[in-house]
Chain A
Amino acid sequence: MSPSRAKSDRNRATRARPGRRVLPWSALFASLVKAFGANHAFTLAHYHVIFTEGWRAIRDTMIIAAFGMPLGGLFGVVVGYLIARRNFIGRDALEIATMVNYALPGTIVGIAYLIAFNDPPLALTGGALIIVACYIFRYSPTGIRATVAQLQQIDPSIEEASHSLGAKTGETFRRVTLPLVLPAFFAGLGVVFIRSMTAISATIFLVSISWTLITVRILENMTELALGPAAAFSVFVVLAVFVVTALVSAALRRFRAPGTAPVSVFGT
């Protein structure tokens, strides 16, 4: 497709859905005025609110995303490796189970987690761990599929070569497989972070007095018609996602193995 054709297609799409470009800017606008639609005097008060009263939600969200991100990335790579390279009983079941977590509606997953982890010995309800676990298992399929796709491009004889040179399975994974699937790891990492910042459907059942999330606060603010703080939270989320996505994309470019196809943060 020629550049002019692509540009014209983009313009057509934008004309068809004007909200696509206007909405982020309207959120920014709403976060910087006293009362959106009534009083458009400039103010930073809403940002003051989210960084004082709303600080706990920001802190909790960032902590949960920071823990979930590497764990989710690693989980995706390990499960992807098991599915693509190992032969064991229950491999297909594992693959399906990981996909089911993603395919089910968030509300169902949230209620399922709530019920499953409400009683000892795994009484996680109310803590951060259950939210982290939910993010890892629900949003790791991207990392898993990226790892599987990456490994399918890599000749298994590369790993056999490592074995023939004296390396054990663990050493082969560390020295050969892991460096080659790093792009998939970063793709999974990015998706888990983005979803940790933006998801609400499953986690709305999992937040508590001790641990809350930005998205839940946005919903609460909207319910209370506090549009300004909700918009300020939204702008913060957009900026955080933008920064982390840019960093992950840079890492993807840096660690892409020569001769392998590029992997997007948003999957393969």
Chain B
Amino acid sequence: MSDAVGIQIQSISKRFEHRVKGEVYAVREVSLDVRPGELVTLLGPSGCGKTTTLRMIAGFEMPDAGRVLIGERDVTHVMANERNVGFVFQSYALFPHLTVFENIAYGLRVQRCAETEIATRVGEVLTLVGLTGYDKQMPHQLSGGEQQRVALARAIVFRPRVLLFDEPLSNLDAKLRVAMREEIQRLQRALGITSVYVTHDQEEAMAISDRIAVMNQGEIAQLGSAEDLYHRPNSVFVAGFIGRACLIPARVAARRDGRTELDVLGRSHEVSTTDIRFAPGDRVRLVLRPEAVTLASSGNGGIGGTIEARHFLGEKTEYRVSIGGHSIQIASQAESFRVGDAVTVVLPTDRLHLLPGES
């Protein structure tokens, strides 16, 4: 879609009255710039403010402070029905008394489109979402996946300027979720429509998004591509929320030529980080991803440890290893280690990320 518009959220806040806690911020000073045609996901745990942010973009909630712009237009105080925004709900929100055709045609009928145009456009989107021939079905006669496709068709048929998704796949089973997220990504790319997607599922977010905004306690903790967030998390929260991470305390021993020498659990280890935040003597935390660490037999020069638990998962085996009083997760192709075995943990030099240490 050549006329795709961006979405700008400028320092929006939303407060709610809580019975026990009093006034609480659901969203606090959140700013986000979604580029035209881009799909940005708001990712975070329950109650982090991601849905409230989305609802403020849609116009279902009005911000207490800040502005929302769609394209060049300030829509902060514009009613939801005047924003020209497609919204896909978690619960599908199909009209139960209308057929699939009438559900999809609803937005066009509101716009007073001609019957012939309605029939053509509904037919087109039914084909697009793979539901040709379903037009006379009632919503309750459809499966969850089919209902979500109808909801998607209904949201795109009136050619909205932006598309918003509020956890659209959470009511589907795991297999269907994967199929539907690919479907959503294909449609979004084909239409080139600017989209904001809300989910608490980090795998879903990583698979579908151009960029991800990780939210925590009403604020954006980090914004970036899936690779950025995974390999270069800026906080313990993001490191723990995106994928699995073990944090090992360390101390910077020296820095030279873009390499940093660390003291990790009493052993010297050199990593190739260019992070200039840390100076010699600083306490840091090493972010260890389970698949980045190698497990070897005892006496191979790494950090000595003991296998605490072993889970064979088919394509890999996961071990919980105790090193220097810390437990770390390691995903390994090696299946031969058993609980209680003395092993060596070999840290990589190039896939380690550092975070500030505990003060």
Binding site for B on A (CB under 8 A): 154-155, 157-158, 160-168, 171, 175-176, 179-180, 257-260
Contacts and interface: CB of A to CB of B under 8 A. Distances in A.
Given A155-B91, A171-B110, A259-B140, A164 B80 contact: yes
Contact of B95 (A164, A171, A176, A260): A176
A142 B93 CA distance: 27
Interface stretch (B81-89, B179-187, B213-221, B298-306): B81-89
Contact of B110 (A160, A165, A180): A165
Interface residues on B, range: 20 to 34
Contacts of B81: 163-168
7 contacts: A154-B96, A161-B154, A166-B158, A167-B110, A168-B79, A180-B97, A259-B139
B96 A259 contact: yes
A268 B224 CA distance: 52
Given A167-B81, A168-B81, A258-B139, A162 B106 contact: yes
Q: Determine which residue in B97, B110, B158 has the highest number of CB atoms from chain A within 10 A of its CB, and name it.
A: B97
A258 B82 CA distance: 30
Contact of A258 (B58, B86, B96, B158): B96
A110 to B, nearest CB: 40
A154 B79 CA distance: 22
A157 B93 CA distance: 6
Contacts of A155: 91, 93
A11 to B, nearest CB: 39
A149 to B, nearest CB: 16
B246 interface: no
Interface of B: 58-60, 79-87, 89-91, 93-97, 106-107, 110-111, 138-140, 154-155, 158
Nearest to A182: B97
A146 B154 CA distance: 30
Contacts of B93: 155, 157-158, 160-161
Contacts of B111: 166
A163 B60 contact: yes
A166 B60 contact: no
A180 B155 CA distance: 21
B225 to A, nearest CB: 29
Contacts of B84: 166
A166 B158 CA distance: 9
Nearest to A256: B97
B107 A257 contact: no
Contact of B107 (A154, A160, A166, A260): A166
A160 B138 contact: no
Nearest to B157: A165
Contacts of B138: 258
Contacts of B86: 164
A90 B154 CA distance: 37
A157 B91 contact: yes
Given A155-B91, A157-B91, A164 B85 contact: yes
A246 to B, nearest CB: 24
The 6 closest A-B pairs by CB, nearest first: A165-B107, A161-B93, A157-B93, A164-B87, A163-B80, A166-B110
Contact of A157 (B89, B139, B154, B158): B89
A160 B81 CA distance: 9
Contacts of B59: 163-164
A135 B136 CA distance: 42
Nearest to A167: B110
Contacts of B158: 165-166
